[in-house]
Amino acid sequence: MKILLLGSGAREHALARALAADPTTTELVVAPGNPGTATIATNLKADASDPAEVLSLATEMEADLVVVGPEAPLVAGVADSLRDAGFPVFGPGAEAARLEGSKAFAKEVMEAAGVPTAAAAVCATEDELASALDRFGAPYVVKEDGLAAGKGVVVTSDRDAALEHGRACLAKEGGRVVIEDFLDGPEVSLFCVCDGATVRPLAPAQDFKRLGDGDAGPNTGGMGAYTPLTWAPDGLTEEVVRDVAQPVVDEMARRGTPFSGLLYCGLALTSKGTRVVEFNVRFGDPETQAVLARLTSSLPELLLAAATGRLDEVPAPTWADQAAVDVVLAAPGYPGTVTTGGVITGVEEAEQVEGVHVLHAGTGLDDDGRLIATGGRVLSVVALGDSVRAARERAYEGLSRIHLEGSQHRTDIALGR
């Protein structure tokens, strides 16, 4: 099977690793990729959000499957362009991708499908924003309506800070902001592979959004994750498929915009029951790095079945008994103004730790061929172990062997789990 994978982050490196390891994969091209994917696949420079450019690549390599990693190409309609040309694509069309591209749209779909979620108000003016903040009260949950790379949400008890973030969202072209009830309880990420009708869940994971230990500091794209969730209630996965994923897939089909791809269900296990925090329409980062580390069944077979409407014909995914922990190494200044160009050393030494592999995200090579930081989240250090605790110890041992001047990481990923 010839596979074209779009994207350049650690999520795509994790996907590439799982796709390349499968014997059914005969050729793997990653566009644009990173120095990590270059070691297991062919990288091609391309704008992954340009439908014409991606279609040209898929046509040239005669791709049997195109896997879209990031959200931006999906919202830009890349999957539509490829499907119209006859290519099997894992990823929803632009209309279905609005489940992530617009939080207001996602709320509308959830209401129609009877999916449990937080009460919300969509605001288009500063007066509406101020009124909604007063109506919902603290802690204030303020979300940018559109795509924000995981950093468009502010949760704060400071009304001025909530108002400031809301104003910044409204100031953007066509800007809208969503104010929500605060949901108590731990959060869970569940990925569901969908083909427009059938839903296949993957293993639940938990990620850590804030920059600092103890969930201090600003929201980020994610600073680490782990799986399995040994503390989660029995039957949680089945409940989410029944009450969340399947109703949404059915509602999207009813609207004439079938959802085919990865539905990421961000959930809060509240005192009043499971509630949806958000949907994404692609594999989540950093959860993917941990989840795929435990996958023992064929990823290409699963994704191709979803892309061709045959998901009910393939077996459910299977998982290793081991746990996986992923710790993110971030550049200085992240998630604000990032300092790039720092030299990274110790990656090979980290991978000498038993059960550890390192995935590239914001990395590149300088003129001397040295590995350097080129983005906010730089590397994901992933470890497998017989327990979450054992995997965690290995991940941090691997991380300790990597050096990037001024880099940041949390020290409490999966602590006590």
Residue 174: the pLDDT is: 79
Transcribe 237-265 into DSSP letters.
HHHHIIIIIHHHHHHHHHTT---EEEEEE
pLDDT of the residue at 372: 98
* Overall average pLDDT of the 191-216 stretch: 97
| Distance linking the first and last C-alpha atoms of the chain | 39
What is the predicted pLDDT for the residue at 151?
Answer: 54
Most confident of 43-52, 119-128, 170-179: 43-52
Q: Which fold has domain 323-404?
A: Glycinamide Ribonucleotide Synthetase; Chain A, domain 4 (3.90.600)
What confidence tens digit (pLDDT) does each residue in 270-292 have? Answer: 988 999 999 999 999 999 999 99
Beta pairing partners, 382: 326, 357
Q: What is the pLDDT of residues 170-201, one digit of tens each?
A: 988 878 888 888 888 899 999 999 999 999 99
Architecture of domain 2-94: 3-Layer(aba) Sandwich (3.40)
Q: What are the distances in angstroms from CA 188 to CA 123, 256, 278, 347?
A: 27, 29, 11, 30
Mean pLDDT of the chain: 95
Architecture of domain 185-308: 2-Layer Sandwich (3.30)
Give the integer Cα–Cα distance in Å for 253 and 406. 48
pLDDT in the model for residue 87 = 98
pLDDT mean over 357-385: 98
Q: Is 256 exposed, middle or buried (0-12, 13-18, 19+ CB in 10 A)?
A: exposed
CATH 3.30.1490.20 fits 120-180, yes or no: yes
Question: Domain-by-domain residue ranges, the chain?
Answer: 2-94, 120-180, 185-308, 323-404
Q: What is the mean pLDDT of the segment spanning 354-369?
A: 97
Rounded distance between C-alpha atoms, residue 47 and residue 52, angstroms: 10
Q: Output 391 or 179, whichever has higher pLDDT.
A: 391
Banded pLDDT at 148 (limits 50, 70, 90): low
Residue 379: the pLDDT is 98
Among 386, 359, 33, residue whose Cα is nearest residue 222 = 359
